[in-house]
Amino acid sequence: MAFDKPTENKNRLQGTLSQRAALSHKRENSGREPSSGKGRKYWMDNFQPNEMADTIRCLFAEYAVEEVDESTGDLVESVAPFFTFIEHYHGGLKKGAICSAGPHHMNRNKRTPCEGCDIFWVDFAERKRLSEQMGTKVQNPNRIGKSTKYVITILDPGEFFETEQVDFRTGQAKLNREGKPWMEWRKLRYANDPAAVGRKIKRGKVMPWVMNKTQFDLLTNYAENNIGTCCSGCGEWGHAMKPTIQTIQYTCQGCTGVLIDMQTSTLAPNQIKELVKLPIQCSHCGTRNFAHEVVHCPTCVVKGTAAKRASLWEVDINLNLVPAADDPKKRNLVLNGYTAPTAIDPQFADIAKPMDLVSIFKPTPIEEQRALWGLTQQSDAPQTQPYSRP
């Protein structure tokens, strides 16, 4: 399923989760053009890993993205199996918003209006001035942060019960304009939970999972180095010490010409790994795209099936949060294990569909940003002077 997918394939980069993630980190640009209107709050009803273990299935989709070509500075269209956005979070007010500056958010001359970016760059310039004046690095002012978030859709096959939304600041139920409580589906953690007595119960829920870079890198590395040892062609389970599948060569997606042959290549495995993470210029046809991996699986040879390296979207994953060793107040994500490649349970066929993350995580309108942060006008000078990257 694709969201906002371009109608033409020209200049579209297609690759694996790891390849797309590597390119996204390299370009460091996320975001969409501004849009108007209010809807679902982007931070509500999202999947949150818990200290109690959860088993989830990540759902595949293709999201159209506009990115800045490093060589030309122009925007190029491509697709990615995850969605990204920039979040501005005001530490003093404890309120966040989605950046509206667009793909050029690091270029003040080209970006579209965004109050969060304005405040961010004003504070950055002031910190730089104070640091030069005092001869030492200063930390303030630093009102608003700027961080990349990565989003995928997940299916949690557990049981959920309907209950009132609670304002954790007051401990009271949140009420709408008619004085009735807002409702939500909360996961049933144990069978005899008194909070679920007499409530509506349903099995399975689809939610967005919003991750920071650390969590996203952990997930993509786990998919590549652990899940990727399995073969989805025959369904054989593998692990890092005993992979069931191996790479034969990498070919061009345009002409299928061989780019790297594993038997004759003089490159070290880690060099090949880094090389294929980014688009390669084909010496045969000139196409620039991610290399296509050709694999071999002994079990598939016996069964007569087509070998295919398993991906994140073909297994169930068990995960939870654990206290950090250096700070018990912090929680780190831990990926405990995964199943062999298998189809999604048929009982969830009707709901196991990726969400329209483009609409859910659309940029926060300028007027709403100003209201969130108590601004009455634009927060700094006209957008004519470029800032260097911090």
Strands, DSSP E only, in 176-283? 183-187, 201-211, 246-251, 258-261, 280-281
Closest CA to 260 of 250, 269, 248: 250
Supply the pLDDT for residue 71.
Answer: 72
Dmax (CA) of the chain: 72
Report whether 134 contacts 76 (CB < 8 A). Answer: no
Structure tokens at 11: 């200049």
Q: Which residues are CB-contacts of 387 (< 8 A; sequence separation ≥ 6)?
A: 108, 121, 124, 125
How many residues are given for the chain?
390
Each residue's pLDDT, cut to its tens digit, for the chain (390 residues) gives 666 544 444 345 556 777 667 666 655 443 333 333 344 688 888 999 999 999 999 999 999 888 887 777 788 888 899 999 999 999 999 999 999 999 988 888 889 999 999 999 999 999 999 999 999 999 999 999 999 999 999 999 999 999 998 887 788 888 888 888 989 999 999 888 999 999 999 999 999 999 999 999 999 999 999 999 999 999 999 988 889 999 999 999 889 999 999 999 999 988 998 898 888 889 889 888 889 999 999 999 999 999 999 999 999 999 999 999 989 889 999 999 999 999 999 999 999 999 999 999 999 999 999 999 998 765 543 333 333 333
Cα(72)–Cα(70) distance, integer angstroms: 6
Cα(67)–Cα(103) distance, integer angstroms: 6
Sign of CA dihedral 132, 133, 134, 140: negative
